[in-house]
A and B are shown apart, each in its own frame.
Chain A
Amino acid sequence: MLEVRNLWAGYNGITVLRDITLEVPGRSATAVLGPNGAGKTTLFRAIAGLVRPQRGRVVFEGSPIHGLPPHEIARRGLVYVPAERELFPQLTVLENLELGAYSSPGDLRSRLRRVFDLFPRLAERRGQRAGTLSGGEQQMLAIARALMGRPRLILLDEPSTGLAPRLVAELYRQLAALQEEGVTILLAEQQVRAALGLCERVYVLRDGRMVFQGSASELWGRPELRRAYLGELRRVEPVGEARDGR
């Protein structure tokens, strides 16, 4: 569904990503892991068109999208939810959701029903301004706004940032429900355990390069990777984990 081939990207002439290749099959959930500053956000911004790639190709559903402006990419069904959420703080929850459907208007009502089913909290707060929501609610709104555009692929950058552990679990249950409905998911996470619970395919990024690709269980079998690049993993994942062998 999404293919990134030998992608180089960065800002103001400084290269952040070097030679990234990645593949996201349709209806899958794929995780990009890696420490802070590894280039996960730059990768997502380059795919979404907010950063123009310096070299390489990005192909979505068979057609190249690198170099297209961000609104064109969103219209094709690839929607990016940045870690900063980028909501419209002075507009109500409902208005934010309506704008999410900007690129493909029509049957607003059924789409609203769908996102309200998924995030009942947003239905309660529909008349409230987005800027007054709690962090977790804002995250839900950001994802719901993206869903209003009927995406086939959704890019989630650190969806668990700022959420209490209970909310992280809830969020990932909802993401699993989304995947069930046929939405393909590519996400970047620091909450490695939560991400690995959802995603069967994993990439590990470090200093702008891809250092691992494979399945979640393969990653568990590479303790040197976990310790070096996912330092947080041991803390999040208690020692009792069966494959850990300790």
Chain B
Amino acid sequence: MSILLDGLVQGLQLALLSVGVVFVYGLGGVLNLAHGQVAVSGGLVAALLMQNRLPPVLACVAGILFAGLVALLLDQTLLRQAYARRGEERLLLGIILTLGLSFALDGFFTWRYPNVALTLQLGSPYVRMGGLTVRTGSLAVAALALTAFLLLLGFLKTTFLGKAVRCIIQNEVGAWLCGVNVHRARTLTVVLSGLLAGVAAVAQGFFSYLGPEMGTEFTILALIVAVVGGVRSLTGTFLASLMLGLVNAALSYTVGTYITWIVLLAVAASTLLIRPEGLLAYWP
């Protein structure tokens, strides 16, 4: 039962991570392979600030904002080059540029901060809820992730800019014709995805720890979710995250992480074979 709960919470964290990849792909046609490193950069900043005796809450907020800033820089420098091109050329250039950046950042993090890790502990590691023993960290992650999602949904559903973002995913030309500045909306989306990645990194700190080498793992997990959930579907991303979180937790517990990875990749591959557009092709 607690494995089930852990899996669901991991799924929520996975969703935080994957929404960014899905969003940037849906709006810009670029697959951001440095997304995991953006998350790690935020987590490391939080960890460094905590080493310097900043209160954990402030350090985490600063880390999340830093991840957003890294995403903004990425948008204004590398992604801008990709956006200047169209179709396949844009996708390929985006992959090469962000893959290069991910190697560079991975190298930098493990060289410069090999022993920095973000771990967040709450007063007591476990609480009892209705006869169940639950990790407090899991509760914190669930609260964090749900808050982030509510904010995101609120932004998308109620603000005019949020509506613009939704409409670009459906029809870029139509959005231009309605007077939407597609370039600015894209930048905003990349920054949002960076902020959510930062939240995911903080969540990782609550689970166990976030280390400098975890960027690639994050990116691959996000890609698997995007494939299973459908690269243009937010609801699909959410469902796929929860599902893969459950699979991940159950398998890690029974057969170990190595086989879990193989199973996760197999799920992604079979999704591509059976339902290439993902579980849900569009989001409402």
Contacts and interface: CB of A to CB of B under 8 A. Distances in A.
A69 B185 CA distance: 14
Contacts of B100: none
B113 interface: no
Contacts of B282: 90
A79 B176 CA distance: 10
Contact of A102 (B164, B283, B284): B164
B179 A75 contact: yes
Contacts of B179: 71, 74-75, 102-104, 149
Interface string B88-128: 00000000000000000000000000000000000000000
Given A90-B284, A105-B160, A145 B178 contact: yes
Interface residues of A, number: 30
B163 A98 contact: yes
Interface in B35-93: none
B208 interface: no
Given A95-B163, A98-B163, A102-B160, A89 B178 contact: no
Contact of B171 (A88, A98, A102): A88
B211 to A, nearest CB: 40
A79 B181 CA distance: 15
Contacts of B283: 90
Contacts, number: 69
A170 B166 CA distance: 33
A99 B167 contact: yes
Given A98-B163, A102-B160, A91 B180 contact: no
A50 interface: yes
B178 A149 contact: yes
Contact of B167 (A80, A91, A103): A91
Contacts of A71: 176, 178-182
A91 B164 CA distance: 12
A87 B174 CA distance: 6
Interface in A62-102: 69-71, 74-75, 79-82, 84, 86-91, 95, 98-100, 102
A50 B180 contact: no
A99 B173 contact: no
A25 to B, nearest CB: 24
A127 to B, nearest CB: 13
Nearest to B284: A90
Contacts of A88: 167, 170-171, 174
Contacts of A90: 170, 282-284
A100 B182 CA distance: 15
A81 B174 CA distance: 9
A48 interface: yes
A95 B162 CA distance: 12
5 contacts: A69-B181, A90-B283, A102-B179, A103-B180, A145-B178
Interface of B: 160, 163-164, 166-167, 170-171, 173-183, 282-284
Given A75-B179, A102-B180, 14 more contacts: A70-B176, A71-B179, A74-B176, A81-B177, A87-B171, A88-B167, A88-B170, A90-B282, A99-B178, A99-B180, A102-B163, A105-B160, A146-B177, A149-B178
